[in-house]
């Protein structure tokens, strides 16, 4: 029983980090109907940014990760803007495949740029609050795991509030649902798209900072993360924000659970097997498709 | 650090003209990008340091080409390097698939390939132009298993390995080595390098009641598993694969998380052992701003044996090949001699961490494991 709870805690922490990756991915997807294949590499960039900034903070500060988080969010939002300006806006009227290719190109540039700047070694970022381990009824709960879940919940909740209860959120949703109609109604669509890229990249930065402490970060780490985000969004429902979050949690719990019951290679294979079954039996995903134009 | 690398390369290129006059160049064709870039960078650094420290008048051109991870890129790099004039020897990629692709071309061009690749197949092609200055799994895994059984007196190992070619090869040789010692692992399971949470496999391993954990994982997964083992309060010893000895792996963990952890490797330059190794480590730090590992030292030793052959009178690539085939070389890591197939390294060491420092200490040497070195 203790083992099962322990694995559940680990799975939830991993799922929360996946959820942040998927969230940024689905936001851009909704706003542009284009798949941002650079999202995984943005997570990597956020993680390595935290690694690079950490030594600049005075060593006496008690919670370097928490202090780094807003800085990483802001800088990554800037990188998201740059991504939109370079790889999306010039191609927005071209076929969607142009944007796929341009985001793949940006991802490769980020990977190689990180390899040149940081070297190929795995790096570790500072913990958000501390690297201690709390023990509750025999279950070891690393502080960083709790921090990952808390930050993910906070960011996802904040985003939900903004999108549901503010004028900005309504404009962002209008842009996502029908950009032409939104423009006709006076919504500054281009600005909304830029803002969406910024929020998506900021989410990636937060995920990177959190993942880089518990699971380390290398310049090539983005490839696996974008795959997980893609599966989460497919399982949850193409374009559905709640679906992406639930999909990410399900993926992580599936990985951890099947790895425990059978083996990790079986879990890897079974994950894609289940994905095929979902695509065959419920192609709209668990929460239904918010975006009709599946990429 | 980068400035150090740049000035080293510029320095080598400056003397390249003199080397052209000697007629031989020594290209460095290694993976600097992709999944093997960490080890490839160490390889490059070791080769460049050897060329920099070579006896006066022998320094050849040190053109460095990134081979990435594709066999085609490696072949193209070899063709390009060979097209620039007579080549004495090539510091060649440690990626097995790239080596296998380059071998026929090396035989055609008659160029010795000096590598630290661990892939067993590269020296099983009857190709006289390949020389491996890093012990293969047959050597390291024998040392790995012998330390577990003979020194730690353990008989119920749980083996966790990577599902990659590297991991499968290590697992196969661990199987043989444990069998030779009359020990049967109580648990064996592979994990993918992208797995983020290794607690499930650790839990499954511990459920079989092992008395030692034997790892054969890449650097990141090794650190990840050890971190999760420390969180879980693991109480049995861990003997890891060579990835653990890399200083960049230890840097991912708190020293306390390393307590009770040992690892096999060809060498551990940061652990010292002799004044010459200490001088190598100091030079490496000064040139590259990072700690050297066994790959760097192996490639360094290999290129130093090549340069020693040139110093002794080798004028052509064929002369260098002959010298490597029949000669012996007392390198910093070990004594090197070919087994007739190009396997030059026949020793391994076990290093252990005390829980207070990230610098391991030498626990055991296993010399001449294959019986080749006379």
In sequence order, the β-bridge partners of residue A138 are: none
| Distance (Å) from the alpha carbon of A86 to chain B's nearest alpha carbon | 24
Pairwise CB contact (< 8 Å): A220 & B35: yes
Residue A98 buriedness (CB in 10 A; 0-12 / 13-18 / 19+): middle
Number of Cα atoms under 13 Å in the Cβ half of residue B335: 13
Name residues 152-211 of chain A within 8 A of B (Cβ): 211
Bigger pLDDT: A163 or B101?
Answer: B101
Pairwise CB contact (< 8 Å): B163 & A265: yes
Bigger pLDDT: A173 or B224?
Answer: B224
Is A51 part of any domain? yes
> What's the CA gap between A25 and A34, in Å, rounded?
10
> What's the CA gap between B81 and B3, in Å, rounded?
25
Pairwise CB contact (< 8 Å): B197 & A255: yes
Is A295 part of any domain? no
Look up residue A90 and give its DSSP letter: G
Interface A:B, Cβ pairs < 8 A: 90
A240-254 pLDDT, tens digit each:
888 999 999 999 999
Question: For the domain that residue B202 is a member of, what is the CATH number?
Answer: 3.40.50.2300
Give the angle subtended at the CA of B343 by the CAs of B339 and B347, to the nearest 5°: 95
- Average pLDDT estimate for B135-160: 96
Question: Which candidate from B189, B219, B224 shows the least CB-CB separation from A263?
Answer: B189
Is A286 part of any domain? no
Is B69 part of any domain? yes
Same domain? B181 vs B120:
no
Same domain? B99 vs B150:
no
Is B93 part of any domain? yes
Q: Which residues of A touch B40 (CB under 8 A)?
A: 120
Q: In a 3-state reduction of DSSP, which class is residue B87?
A: strand
- The number of helix segments (H) and strand segments (E) in chain A equals 11, 2
Give every CB contact of residue B216 below 8 A, 6+ residues apart in sequence: B141, B144, B159, B160, B161, B162, B167, B170, B171, B174, B240, B241
Pairwise CB contact (< 8 Å): A7 & B223: no
> What's the CA gap between B137 and B242, in Å, rounded?
10
**Is there a contact between B71 and B97 (Cβ–Cβ < 8 Å)?**
yes
Same domain? B84 vs B214:
no
User: Which residue of chain A comes nearest to B189, CA vs CA?
Assistant: A263
**Is there a contact between A92 and A164 (Cβ–Cβ < 8 Å)?**
no
Q: Is A266 on the interface with B (CB under 8 A)?
A: no
Same domain? B116 vs B231:
no
Same domain? B86 vs B104:
yes
Q: Quick one: pLDDT at residue B7?
A: 47
Domain range for B172: 137-265+348-366
Same domain? B213 vs B312:
no
Most confident stretch, A168-172, A177-181, B207-211, B232-236: B207-211
Q: Quick one: pLDDT at residue A95?
A: 84
Q: What are phi and psi of B332, to 5 degrees?
A: -75, -35
User: Tokens 């497919």, residue?
Assistant: A234
**Is there a contact between B94 and B130 (Cβ–Cβ < 8 Å)?**
no
> What's the CA gap between B199 and A4, in Å, rounded?
11
* End-to-end CA, chain A: 42
Q: Quick one: pLDDT at residue B233?
A: 87
Is A83 part of any domain? yes
Pairwise CB contact (< 8 Å): A7 & B201: no
Q: Quick one: pLDDT at residue A180?
A: 86
> What's the CA gap between B18 and A17, in Å, rounded?
56
Is A288 part of any domain? no
Is B130 part of any domain? yes
Q: How confident is the model at residue B58 (pLDDT cuts 50, 70, 90)?
A: low
Same domain? B224 vs B247:
yes
> What's the CA gap between B197 and A6, in Å, rounded?
12
B292-347 pLDDT, tens digit each:
999 999 999 999 999 999 989 898 999 999 999 999 999 999 999 999 999 999 99
Is B374 part of any domain? no
Count of domains observed in chain A: 1
Q: Is A279 on the interface with B (CB under 8 A)?
A: no
Give the tokens for residue A43.
């997570």
Four-residue CA torsion sign, A11, A13, A16, A17: negative
Give every CB contact of residue B285 below 8 A, 6+ residues apart in sequence: B291, B292
- Average pLDDT estimate for B97-115: 96
Give every CB contact of residue A70 below 8 A, 6+ residues apart in sequence: none
Q: Which residues of A touch B244 (CB under 8 A)?
A: none
Residue B131 reports pLDDT greater than 90: yes
Q: How many other β-carbons are positioned within 10 Å of the β-carbon of residue B251?
A: 15
Same domain? B162 vs B40:
no
Question: For the domain that residue A263 is a member of, what is the CATH number?
Answer: 1.10.3470
Same domain? B226 vs B149:
yes
pTM above 0.90, yes or no: no
Distances (CA, A) of B174 to A37, A265, B137, B142, B145: 40, 20, 8, 7, 7
Q: In a 3-state reduction of DSSP, which class is residue A71?
A: helix
Q: Quick one: pLDDT at residue A189?
A: 92
Residue B173 reports pLDDT greater than 90: yes
> What's the CA gap between A212 and A221, in Å, rounded?
10
Is B276 part of any domain? yes
| Sheet hosting strand B64-66, strand order edge to edge | B64-66, B28-30, B90-92, B113-115, B130-132
DSSP codes, B225-247: HHHHHHHHT--S-EEE-GGGGSH
Look up residue B29 and give its DSSP letter: E
> What's the CA gap between B170 and B174, in Å, rounded?
6
Same domain? B232 vs B354:
yes
Same domain? B98 vs B161:
no
Q: Which residues of A touch B35 (CB under 8 A)?
A: 220
User: Tokens 């390939």, residue?
Assistant: B113
Same domain? B255 vs B277:
no
Question: Which candidate from B224, B232, B254 shows the least CB-CB separation from A140?
Answer: B232
Q: Which residues of B touch A252 (CB under 8 A)?
A: 197
Q: How confident is the model at residue B10 (pLDDT cuts 50, 70, 90)?
A: very low
Is B52 part of any domain? yes
Pairwise CB contact (< 8 Å): B192 & A268: yes
Bigger pLDDT: B34 or A36?
Answer: A36
Count of domains observed in chain B: 2
Residue A236 buriedness (CB in 10 A; 0-12 / 13-18 / 19+): buried
Q: Quick one: pLDDT at residue B9?
A: 46
Is B42 part of any domain? yes
User: Which residue of chain B comes nearest to A143, CA vs CA?
Assistant: B231
Number of Cα atoms under 13 Å in the Cβ half of residue A158: 9
Is A292 part of any domain? no
How do strand B187-191 and strand B238-240 relate by DSSP bridges?
unpaired
Q: Which residues of A touch B194 (CB under 8 A)?
A: 224
> What's the CA gap between B132 and B113, in Å, rounded?
8
**Is there a contact between A104 and A112 (Cβ–Cβ < 8 Å)?**
no
Look up residue A283 and give its DSSP letter: T
Domain range for A184: 2-281
Give the tokens for residue B134.
């890093």
B60-94 pLDDT, tens digit each:
567 899 998 899 999 999 999 998 788 999 999 99
Pairwise CB contact (< 8 Å): A112 & B33: yes
Q: What region, left, alpha or beta, does residue B75 occupy, with left being phi > 0 and alpha being psi -120 to 50 degrees?
A: alpha
Is A291 part of any domain? no
Is B343 part of any domain? no
The ipTM of this complex is 0.85
> What's the CA gap between B132 and B115, in Å, rounded?
5
Give every CB contact of residue A108 below 8 A, 6+ residues apart in sequence: A41
Least trusted range by pLDDT, from A31-40, A70-79, A204-213, A282-291: A282-291
Least trusted range by pLDDT, from A20-24, A59-63, A257-261: A59-63
């Amino acid at each position: 029983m203790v083992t099962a709870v322990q694995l559940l805690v680990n799975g939830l922490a991993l799922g929360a980090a996946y959820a942040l990756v998927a969230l940024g991915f689905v936001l851009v997807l909704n706003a542009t109907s284009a798949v941002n294949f650079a999202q995984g590499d943005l997570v990597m960039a956020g993680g390595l940014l935290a690694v690079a900034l950490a030594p600049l903070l005075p060593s006496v500060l008690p919670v370097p990760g928490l202090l780094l988080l807003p800085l990483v969010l802001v800088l990554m939002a800037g990188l998201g803007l740059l991504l939109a300006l370079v790889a999306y806006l010039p191609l927005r009227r071209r076929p969607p495949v142009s944007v796929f290719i341009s985001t793949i190109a940006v991802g490769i540039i980020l990977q190689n740029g990180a390899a040149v700047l940081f070297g190929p070694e795995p790096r570790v970022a500072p913990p958000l609050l501390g690297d201690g381990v709390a023990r509750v009824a025999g279950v070891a709960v690393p502080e960083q795991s709790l921090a990952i879940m808390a930050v993910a919940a906070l960011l996802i909740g904040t985003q939900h509030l903004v999108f549901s209860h503010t004028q900005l959120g309504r404009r962002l949703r209008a842009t996502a649902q029908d950009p032409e109609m939104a423009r006709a109604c006076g919504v500054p669509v281009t600005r909304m798209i830029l803002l969406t890229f910024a929020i998506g990249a900021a989410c990636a930065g937060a995920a990177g900072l959190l993942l880089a402490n518990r699971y380390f970060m290398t310049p090539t780490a983005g490839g696996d993360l974008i795959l997980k985000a893609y599966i989460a969004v497919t399982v949850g429902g193409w374009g559905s924000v709640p679906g992406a979050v639930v999909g990410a949690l399900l993926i992580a719990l599936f990985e951890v659970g099947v790895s425990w019951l059978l083996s990790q290679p079986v879990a890897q294979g079974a994950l894609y097997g289940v994905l095929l079954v979902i695509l065959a039996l419920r192609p709209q995903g668990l929460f239904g498709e918010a975006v009709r134009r599946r990429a | 650090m980068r400035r150090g690398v740049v000035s080293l390369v510029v320095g080598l290129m400056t003397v390249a003209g003199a080397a052209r006059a000697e007629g031989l160049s020594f290209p460095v064709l290694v993976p600097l990008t992709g999944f093997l870039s960490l080890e490839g960078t160490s390889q490059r650094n070791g080769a460049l340091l050897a060329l920099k420290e070579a006896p006066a008048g022998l320094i050849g051109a040190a053109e460095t080409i990134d081979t990435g991870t594709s066999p085609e890129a490696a072949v193209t790099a070899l063709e390009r390097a060979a097209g620039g004039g007579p080549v004495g020897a090539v510091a060649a990629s440690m990626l097995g698939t790239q080596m296998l692709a380059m071998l026929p071309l090396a035989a055609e061009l008659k160029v010795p390939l000096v590598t630290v690749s661990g892939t067993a197949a590269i020296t099983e092609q009857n190709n006289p132009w390949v020389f491996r200055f890093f012990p293969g799994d047959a050597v390291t895994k024998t040392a790995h298993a012998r330390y577990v059984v003979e020194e730690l007196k353990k008989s119920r190992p749980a083996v966790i390995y990577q599902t990659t070619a590297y991991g499968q090869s290590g697992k196969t040789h661990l199987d043989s080595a444990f069998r030779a010692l009359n020990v049967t692992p109580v648990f064996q399971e592979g994990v993918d390098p992208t797995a983020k949470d290794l607690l499930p496999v650790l839990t499954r391993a511990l459920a079989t009641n092992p008395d030692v954990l034997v790892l054969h994982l890449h650097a990141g997964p090794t650190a990840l598993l050890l971190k999760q083992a420390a969180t879980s309060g693991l109480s049995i010893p861990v003997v890891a694969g060579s990835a653990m000895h890399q200083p960049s792996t230890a840097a991912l963990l708190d020293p306390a998380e390393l307590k009770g952890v040992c690892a096999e490797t060809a060498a551990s330059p940061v652990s010292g052992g002799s004044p010459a190794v200490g001088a190598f480590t100091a030079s490496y730090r000064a040139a590259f701003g990072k700690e050297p590992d066994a790959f760097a030292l192996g490639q360094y030793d290999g290129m130093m044996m090549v340069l020693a052959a040139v110093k002794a009178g080798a004028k052509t690539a064929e002369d260098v090949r002959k010298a490597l085939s029949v000669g012996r070389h007392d390198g910093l890591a070990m004594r090197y001699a070919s087994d007739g197939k190009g396997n030059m390294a026949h020793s391994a060491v076990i290093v252990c961490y005390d829980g207070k420092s990230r610098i391991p200490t030498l626990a055991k040497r296993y010399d001449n494991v294959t019986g080749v070195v006379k």
